[in-house]
Amino acid sequence: MNKRDLRKQETNKAIVDAAREEFVKNGFLETNTKTVADKAGVAHGTLFLHYKTKHALMEKVLEDQLISIDIQLEKILSENGDLESLLNGYLDFMHENEDFFEVIAREMPHYPKEIRIKAYLNEASARDYFYRSIQKGIQDGIYKDIDIKMTLTFLFGTINYFLHNKQSIIKSGSIIEYKKESIIETFMKFISI
């Protein structure tokens, strides 16, 4: 690769890195292109040479982030056997990426459909693991014979609820960490016979 292309690549990386940082901190809707350009150390116009629109830039950032999350999640969830470890692993992971998930929870309804679908796939693959674990528990007679899909909506709905209302519940720190034990305990009581 020649000098020119190298520089171009570096510029692109600087833009994407800056965009991701701003995005995770303040969300897509409140991030403006000038701030990203400044943070990346490039001219405002340069940003638009690399990404035609703010939307295209954010789509790139979001996609990268979702792919990275998907890979990590797959690893965590496939390592854990029983439901309680699965929940533990999942909530720990959410806790570690809480800023990102908080933004997603808050802004998701405002994103265009294609992006919403991609973000939803994330949850869908996690659901799969939980689904199979609960299904096995039902067959083994340790869990109630419940509507598993709806049961999982209760679980994911609750997690999202806490992400949404974080600011009203705690002043700082991690809401997931704060509520983790209680979520797991209550959920296990719900489904256990």
Residue numbers at the binding site for DNA (CB under 7 A): 2-4, 7-8, 10-11, 31-34, 42-46, 48-50, 52-55
Q: Which of 6, 117, 121, 142: binder of a second copy (CB under 8 A)?
A: 117
Among 61, 86, 159, 176, binds a second copy (CB under 8 A): 159
For residues 149 and 123, give the distance between their C-alpha atoms in angstroms, rounded to a whole number.
Answer: 12
Closer CB to a second copy, 82 or 185, in the complex: 185
Regarding 167 and contact with a second copy (CB under 8 A), the answer is yes
Count Cβ atoms below 10 Å from residue 33 Cβ, excluding itself.
19
Reduced to 3 states (helix: H, G, I; strand: E, B; else coil), residue 106 is: helix
Name residues whose C-beta falls within 8 Å of residue 25's C-beta, 6 or more positions apart in sequence.
99
Burial level of 151, CB count in 10 A (0-12/13-18/19+)? middle
User: Rounded to the nearest 5°, which phi and psi values hold at 80?
Assistant: -105, 130
Nearer to DNA, 11 or 88 (CB): 11
Q: Please state, in angstroms and rounded to a whole number, the distance separating the CA atoms of residues 185 and 190.
A: 9
Distance of CA 160 to the CA centre of its chain: 11
Residue 88 binding partner per list a second copy, DNA, none, with a CB distance cut-off of 5 to 8 Å that depends on partner kind: none
Min dist CB 87 to a second copy, Å, is 13
Please say which residue, 42 or 105, places its beta carbon nearer to a second copy: 105
Name the residues that contact a second copy, by CB under 8 A. 105-106, 108-110, 113, 116-117, 120, 144, 146-147, 150-151, 153-162, 164-165, 167-168, 179, 182-183, 185-187, 189-191
